[in-house]
Structure 1
């Protein structure tokens, strides 16, 4: 049997690639493998410091976090590991830095300066990917927003942009911002300072109207959360002429908030290929459908879709490119007529995927003890090839739902495939 160490014979760049799947602590520990590995970690261009995965005293069990003193000791040992690793590195470029503190908050203000020094070190070594998975008490170093080499950034920090005077990230292509509130000034600075930004993921609290205007964006994901019950009269314009993929999720910050009636979202996305729209029951969003008219693949989810379809019912555009439609988490038994009306604006639709989970909205369909029937418009499109349905067993409205399916499919040769699923509750 050949017992040669084949991995150690690989060039440094390939070993570094293998080590990139390890945490920084694990990468440093490879120095004991052989002389060949002794100093490899000092030139590793990928560093992942994860407090949750950090081991000290031979254990990393969550039970060690019960005592505040043990938690403090663990963090300080973690801090020493990060600082020592950076100090002992050779001066080579650092491609990726990820720091995750697993929502650790005990006395974090005491360590702000040392944490900022880690980020500054990375920025001075031609950093390309930065992932900050925690919230600093103090602000992020200003260099994060003027780093000429940065290509990909993920920042878990409330209001990270709102206090920055200058943004100049000429190479940034991907950005993920989590938490906080966005204002128009910060949005304008972002797109002005990131001329090649292609992928943007925003999770923010929407309390004021604003405009997204970008020629470079190709992929946009927006998770908008209402921070106040009285939020109203919001208007968002998203003008992204080169956008290919759009995902929009709108939900309240907490369960039980009142319905927001004034949220208007106008979309200008002429070459959009795919879109996923998820709306909470508490939202009544208007104006969105017109901007999706050129999409080829569309997913609707959430009980708020009913209001979206009702509000824009008389203004439905022709979805002349739509070939695949997926509808889930929407009450198909009581609002199938809305879906049928929408379908008749999708005449080249080839595949329809539905998730039937029974009544999701508590709608009343009984009138004087008799069942109220819905007027279902037969689907006019003749290119529909397949209807895929996932359904739950033992639902009293299911036969009626099947009848609706047959109504919309009778003018086409579509094949209806039914798959039974079971709902498991925690």
Structure 2
């Protein structure tokens, strides 16, 4: 029949697969297409939130209008998570730049979002954040999500500090990216012991308070633009790829850079 809506006739599993390639904001908009589409978005196993979708570059960040944009962003994430109830999350991505509002350390919205996401046993977790001040801590639950296979954490502000979870238990984690953290010996030891399946590790612009990286399963190690405080011994028998770009601990000496890439 001419003009037939064949897409809407597809099974929900196919429709949710199609919507998984959209951002969550775009997926939610499909509810307006027809009654058939009203609740399909709520079953999409991918949640992708980006503050850039709500930010206007033409309005100064200090204005009340930008505060309203940020509050709207938080409200939408809260509403989406509440609407999904116990629907499984396969991938969760949050890119939150230009956080013009200063949240209390223990009152940041991330502290209510992460527990929900962890309960849904995601495979992939990606957090890119730009808090106003150094009052944001990655919730400890992030480091005990047993279903995770890939994780990317980056907090762009002045040095965030070293994560200090009491426990790291990520048995299925294969890929890990950490950006702009202080990496202490205690945290690195917990990380490598708590991630027995880890194959790829990338540290980006981190301050490294460690003297050794020792791991039996790691195949790829990238240390990109980091600031080591001492020499680091790498003891990784299974390593196949190594890339190192380090900068002087004296942040003013930008020219003091060492770069090395090896295929082993």
Fold agreement, TM-score > 0.5: yes
CA contact (8 A) 1:139 1:160 kept: no
Q: Which SS does the other structure have where 1:216 is aligned? A: coil
CA contact (8 A) 2:214 2:235 kept: yes
Residue 88 in structure 1 maps to residue 90 in structure 2: no
Q: Which SS does the other structure have where 2:180 is aligned? A: strand
| 2:240 paired residue number | 244
Residue 196 in structure 1 maps to residue 197 in structure 2: yes
| 2:96 paired residue number | 101
Superposition pairs of residues 163-242 of structure 1, within 5 angstroms: 163-206=164-207, 208-226=209-227, 234-242=230-238
Return the alpha-carbon distance in structure 1 between the equivalents of residues 200 and 213 of structure 2: 13
Return the alpha-carbon distance in structure 2 between the equivalents of residues 110 and 210 of structure 1: 31
| 1:153 paired residue number | 151
CA contact (8 A) 2:46 2:92 kept: yes
Return the alpha-carbon distance in structure 2 between the equivalents of residues 173 and 17 of structure 1: 24
Return the alpha-carbon distance in structure 1 between the equivalents of residues 207 and 128 of structure 2: 22
By how many angstroms is 1:251 displaced?
Answer: 2.7
Question: CA 1:169 to 1:160, structure 2 compared with 1: closer, same or farther past 3 Å?
Answer: farther
Q: Which SS does the other structure have where 2:212 is aligned? A: strand
Give the TM-score normalised by structure 2. Answer: 0.86
1:72 to 61, 67, 70: 67
CA contact (8 A) 2:146 2:170 kept: yes
By how many angstroms is 1:165 displaced?
Answer: 2.0
Question: CA 1:282 to 1:107, structure 2 compared with 1: closer, same or farther past 3 Å?
Answer: same
By how many angstroms is 1:281 displaced?
Answer: 4.3
Return the alpha-carbon distance in structure 1 between the equivalents of residues 66 and 3 of structure 2: 43
Superposition pairs of residues 227-306 of structure 1, within 5 angstroms: 234-252=230-248, 256-257=252-253, 281-283=255-257, 292=262, 295=263
**Structure 2: stretches of 5+ with no match in the other structure:** none
After superposition, give the CA deviation of every residue in 1:113-146 in whole Å (9 maximum; x if it has no partner): 4321011111111122111111562422221111
Q: Which SS does the other structure have where 2:186 is aligned? A: helix
By how many angstroms is 1:209 displaced?
Answer: 4.2
Comparing 246-255 with 38-47, which one deviates more in the overlay?
Answer: 246-255
Return the alpha-carbon distance in structure 2 between the equivalents of residues 189 and 96 of structure 1: 24
Q: Which SS does the other structure have where 2:246 is aligned? A: strand
Q: Which SS does the other structure have where 1:176 is aligned? A: strand
By how many angstroms is 1:207 displaced?
Answer: 5.3
Return the alpha-carbon distance in structure 2 between the equivalents of residues 283 and 187 of structure 1: 23
CA contact (8 A) 1:43 1:92 kept: yes
CA contact (8 A) 1:213 1:240 kept: yes
Return the alpha-carbon distance in structure 1 between the equivalents of residues 12 and 103 of structure 2: 37
| 2:57 paired residue number | 62
Return the alpha-carbon distance in structure 2 between the equivalents of residues 179 and 75 of structure 1: 23
Comparing 150-159 with 178-187, which one deviates more in the overlay?
Answer: 150-159
Return the alpha-carbon distance in structure 2 between the equivalents of residues 207 and 141 of structure 1: 21
Return the alpha-carbon distance in structure 2 between the equivalents of residues 211 and 17 of structure 1: 43
Return the alpha-carbon distance in structure 2 between the equivalents of residues 45 and 206 of structure 1: 35
Greater Rg by CA: 1
CA contact (8 A) 2:47 2:91 kept: yes
Return the alpha-carbon distance in structure 1 between the equivalents of residues 239 and 39 of structure 2: 45
By how many angstroms is 1:164 displaced?
Answer: 1.6
CA contact (8 A) 2:244 2:258 kept: no
Return the alpha-carbon distance in structure 1 between the equivalents of residues 49 and 245 of structure 2: 31
Question: CA 1:135 to 1:67, structure 2 compared with 1: closer, same or farther past 3 Å?
Answer: closer
CA contact (8 A) 2:140 2:166 kept: no
CA contact (8 A) 2:224 2:246 kept: yes
Q: Which SS does the other structure have where 1:112 is aligned? A: coil
Return the alpha-carbon distance in structure 1 between the equivalents of residues 186 and 136 of structure 2: 21
Return the alpha-carbon distance in structure 1 between the equivalents of residues 19 and 250 of structure 2: 41
